[in-house]
Amino acid sequence: MSGLELLVVSGIKVVVAFAFLVLTVLVLVWVERRVVAFMQNRYGPNRAGPGGILQTLADGLKLFFKESMTPRKAQFLLYIAAPVLAVVTALLVFVVIPIGAPVTIGDTTYTLQVTDLDVGVLYILAISSLGVYAVALAGWSSGSKYPLLGSVRSAAQMISYEAALGLALVPVIMFSRTTSLAGIVEAQSGTFGGLLPAWNIVLLPSFVIFLIAGFAETNRAPFDLVEAEQEIVGGYHTEYSGMRFAFFFLAEYINMFNMAALTATFFLGGWNGPLFGPTWLRYVLPVIWFLIKSWVVVFLFIWARGTLPRIRYDQLMAFGWKRLIPVSLVWIMLAMVAIGVRRFGLPWA
Amino acid sequence: MTPADYLPIALMVLLGLGFSGVSLWMSWRIAPNNPTPEKLAPYECGIVPLQEPVQRFPVKFYLVAMLFVIFDVEIVFLFAWAVRMDEFGWAGIAAVGIFMLLLLETLAYVWKRGALDWNVSVRRRYRPVVAPDLEEEAA
């Protein structure tokens, strides 16, 4: 591809990915409110648009026209940089997720993935670490005590569970022999004995650890200590209002969808699924499988929120460090011995 | 892998910055701006704040950050090995196994020392270095 063509293709992919994420968030917030409402035996938002689907748009517009205050003691530059950083890091994680099979138009093949980095997994962990800065800076620069407490808590929580998140991915990489996300999806394309799809969910402990760490990493219930209203008012974004608050909200929901999409990619076979019908359908179906799998995981996130009470902070830290990390270390050792026996035979043979 | 693979990431950063910049600027132009001293005070549920926000927080959080650094570096080592696992065979598995046992031992040590306990009193967490018989002599 020539330089200009490359620029145009990348530009289109980036804009489409951005539009996709924003639309997803609009639907996601509504779905979450409705599902949680039905779980709590009430209706939820059902006025704006058919079934209330435009509620998020209405809320966003309202926030747009609201005053954005800057508290007196805030460090303005950092204070304004935090929500921007939150949104940018959330957008950046999605860049490496493949949402469909490569499409061939004419004699050029386009991947349905913004970019296929061969260090994809490392990139994701790096960018989600950067996301911690948004939280830490927001709390610190607000010049108020509850945001500071919330952000310190939240930063400690996020980095603790990030260790477990990374450890859960090691067996997946051993299995697929690559850290590229497209490669991981391709490695799951076969079947076991022609019956079951060869998804990485066979690494069940990894899947469970990844899902739990994902809940904690995105600050979702039952690990939503960040916004424990009874203790610390509203967490790190207490002092944010108007559009600046909307950005934190947007970033949180993009992160939630990213985590669901990553779970689908690493463990549920990504866009793999049965293909049939004419050529165009063979290009559309992988995207649909990917979306179905992602939304199933999203539903798990919402279900957990509707079901489980928030845990205490000491329980949260103890669970991360004393349960998840030892279990994932032992599981990696078991998995590497099992994979070793399968690939190289018994060590004494 | 070429630098061209990183071009979309740069574009996404630009798009994200542009989007946030433009919407923050437009919102700032359109939305009312009417600050009062009460509105700009730190939010504490309507109570007048009496002291400055604490700029010092428990050292436990710092400890967590240090432990995270130890484990995160380990994870990066494991990724590099996991990709090329086939080339190293059983020797590689044995080496990584020893490495992981050492890490489990590290975890067991900090666990035993109480670095992972959140609600333990300071007295139990950090035992005094003074030997008991010295204390008796002083008394």
pLDDT means over runs of 10, chain B (139 residues): 81 92 88 80 70 70 86 85 88 91 89 77 55 56
pLDDT at B52: 67
pTM listed for this prediction: 0.89
Query: In this prediction, what percent of chain A has a pLDDT beyond 70?
Result: 97
> Does A5 reach chain B within 8 Å, measured CB to CB?
no
Is A308 part of the contact surface with chain B (CB cutoff 8 Å)? no
Q: What are the backbone angles phi and psi of residue A108, rounded to the nearest 5°?
A: -110, 140
**Residue B47 contacts A, CB cutoff 8 Å:** no
What number does CATH give the domain B3-129?
1.20.58.1610
Round to whole Å and give the CA distance between B91 and B78: 15
Highest mean pLDDT of the ranges A199-208, A229-238, B12-21: B12-21
Task: Give the range with max mean pLDDT: A51-60, A189-198, A268-277.
Answer: A51-60
Alpha carbons A72 and A156: distance in angstroms, whole number: 27
Interface residue B6 vs chain A (CB under 8 A): yes
Residues A156, A317 contacting (CB under 8 angstroms) = yes
- Other C-beta atoms lying within 10 Å of the C-beta of residue A190: 11
Distance CA B42, CA A269 (A): 48
Burial A96-129 (b: 16+ CB within 10 A, else e): bbbbbbebeeeeeeebbbbbbbbbbbbbbbebbb
Min Cα–Cα distance to chain A from B128, Å: 24
Q: Where are the domains of chain B?
A: 3-129
Which of A83, A121, A160 comes nearest B79 by C-beta? A121
**DSSP annotation string for A137-203:** HHHHHT-SHHHHHHHHHHHHHHHHHHHHHHHHHHHHHHHHS---HHHHHHHTSSEETTTEE--GGGS
**Interface probe with B: pick from A4, A14, A65, most Cβ of B within 10 Å:** A14
What pLDDT sits at residue A179?
87
Element (H, E) at B16: helix B7-30
Nearest CA in chain B to A1: B4
Across the interface, which of B100, B111, B116 has its CB nearest the CB of A332? B100
Question: What is the pLDDT averaged over residues A59-64?
Answer: 88
Widest pairwise Cα distance in chain A: 73
What is the C-alpha separation between A190 and A116, in angstroms, rounded?
21
Residue ranges of domains in chain A: 3-344
Provide the chain A residues 77-116 that lie in CB contact (below 8 A) with chain B. 80, 83-84, 87-88, 91-92, 95, 114-116
B121 touches chain A (CB under 8 A): no
Lowest mean pLDDT among A10-24, A231-245, A328-342, B5-19: A231-245
Please say whether the beta carbons of B72 and A163 come within 8 A: yes
Q: What is the mean pLDDT of residues A125-131?
A: 88
pLDDT exceeds cutoff 70 at A136: yes
Rounded to whole angstroms, the Cα distance separating A304 from A299 reads 8
Asked if residue A98 has a cis previous peptide bond (ω within 30° of 0), the answer is no
Closest CA to A192 of A262, A264, A269: A269
Q: How close, in Å, is residue B89 to chain A by CA atoms?
A: 7
- Give the distance, in angstroms, between the CA of residue B83 and the centroid of all CA atoms in the same chain: 26
Query: Is the per-residue pLDDT at A240 higher than 60?
Result: yes
Pull the structure tokens for residue A119.
């260090």
Which residue among A87, A313, A337 sits closest to B118, beta carbon to beta carbon? Answer: A313
| Nearest in space to A69 (alpha carbons), one of B22, B20, B39, B49 | B39
C-alpha closest to that of A171 among A333, A342, A345, A7: A333
Please give, rounded to a whole number of angstroms, the shortest distance from the CA of A168 to a CA of chain B: 10
Mean pLDDT of all residues in chain A? 87
Cβ–Cβ under 8 Å, residues B86 and A178: no
The pLDDT, as a whole number, for residue B70 is: 83
Q: What's CA B9's distance to the chain center, in Å?
A: 25
Please list the alpha-helical segments (H only) found in chain A: 3-39, 55-64, 76-94, 120-141, 145-176, 181-187, 204-217, 229-232, 242-267, 279-307, 313-318, 325-344
pLDDT at residue A3 greater than cutoff 60: yes
